[in-house]
């Protein structure tokens, strides 16, 4: 018998793969949603990056219906999203806003909608925030505004009238920099001891899913890493 069921949105990214592996190792049934399959997951729901918001949502909802039948899940963990720089003067300014929006906010609103239907009462939802977006982000405007939208969505989901099942907890994690192969490649001379490891985040999700040390619903949880230790600043 499995320990429970979870859905990882963005299950093929660096963090998503770590989360899928961690929950599989802890005996969970795991569904992945992403632009491609995650072979470690029990089920992969594949959305097309060329599909619009509504079509991606339909793919996810019908995929979940087919995968779950009458079952509900213990957690929706959304770790989808990417990064793009640029200020208001950049040639690709609107393009980067649009990309950031579709990656972070489409996936987060679809997660909210799916959770309203497929999450158990008392279940857990995590959305992908970003610590820098708590302030202005002039060098990465599209990224910052999309993450700020995710933060405010999280606060809305923290209210009992949000449409989530009774007793559900919704939070955002707000990392500064995650220790991924891609970040190591592009920021090779950075101080890695201030980066948050994927394993730490995966274990955090596992604790919260199983009910240990859950923050209040609606919380923004900053992940502040110094000298290879990560502290949570919960707001």
Instruction: Indicate if the alpha-carbon torsion angle 47, 48, 53, 56 is positive or negative.
Output: negative
**155 binding its own copies? (CB under 8 A):** yes
Instruction: Check residue 66 for interaction with its own copies (CB under 8 A).
Output: no
Identify which of 81, 74, 62 has the alpha carbon closest to the alpha carbon of residue 13. Answer: 81
Interacting residue with its own copies among 44, 162, 169, 225 (CB under 8 A): 162
Q: In the structure encoding, which two tokens stand for residue 17, read together?
A: 């793969």
Asked if residue 142 binds its own copies (CB under 8 A), the reply is: yes
Among positions 153, 171, 174, 178, the unique one binding its own copies when judged by CB under 8 A: 153
Residue listed under structure tokens 């997660």: 111
CB atoms within 10 A of CB 186: 10
Establish whether 9 is a catalytic residue.
no
Judged by CB under 8 A, the number of residues near its own copies is 51
Q: Three-class SS of residue 224?
A: strand
Sole binder of its own copies in the list 85, 138, 167, 211 (CB under 8 A): 138
Give the three-state DSSP class for 203.
Answer: helix
End-to-end CA distance of the chain: 36
The Cα–Cα gap between 187 and 69 comes to 44
Q: Which of residues 213-232 bind its own copies (CB under 8 A)?
A: 218
Q: How far is the CB of 163 from its own copies (least distance, A)?
A: 3
Residue from 39, 65, 71, 159 in contact with its own copies (CB under 8 A): 159
Q: Six-digit token pair at 44? A: 């992969």
- List the one residue from 133, 171, 201, 221 that touches its own copies (CB under 8 A): 133
Q: Which residues bind its own copies (CB under 8 A)?
A: 53-54, 57, 87-90, 93-95, 97-98, 101, 105, 109-110, 112-113, 115-117, 133, 135-139, 141-142, 144-164, 218
Catalytic site positions: 143
């Amino acid at each position: 018998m499995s320990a429970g069921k979870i859905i990882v949105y963005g299950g093929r990214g660096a963090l998503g793969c770590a989360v899928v592996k961690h929950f599989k190792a802890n005996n969970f049934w795991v569904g992945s949603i992403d632009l491609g399959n995650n072979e470690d997951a029990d089920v992969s729901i594949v959305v097309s990056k060329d599909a619009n918001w509504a079509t991606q949502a339909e793919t996810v909802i019908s995929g979940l219906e087919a995968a779950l039948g009458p079952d509900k899940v213990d957690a929706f963990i959304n770790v989808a999203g990417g990064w793009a720089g640029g200020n208001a003067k950049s040639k690709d300014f609107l393009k980067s806003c649009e990309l950031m929006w579709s990656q972070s906010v489409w996936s987060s609103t679809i997660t909210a909608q799916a959770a309203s239907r497929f999450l158990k009462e008392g279940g857990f939802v995590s959305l992908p925030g970003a610590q820098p977006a708590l302030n202005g982000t002039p060098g990465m405007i599209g990224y910052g505004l999309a993450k700020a939208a995710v933060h405010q969505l999280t606060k809305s989901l923290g209210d009992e009238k949000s449409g989530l099942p009774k007793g559900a907890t919704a939070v955002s994690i707000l990392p500064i920099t995650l220790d991924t192969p891609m970040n190591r490649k592009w920021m090779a001379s950075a101080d890695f001891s201030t980066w948050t490891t994927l394993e730490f985040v995966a274990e955090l999700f596992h604790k919260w899913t199983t009910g240990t040390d859950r923050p209040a619903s609606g919380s923004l949880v900053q992940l502040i890493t110094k000298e290879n230790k990560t502290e949570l600043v919960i707001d």
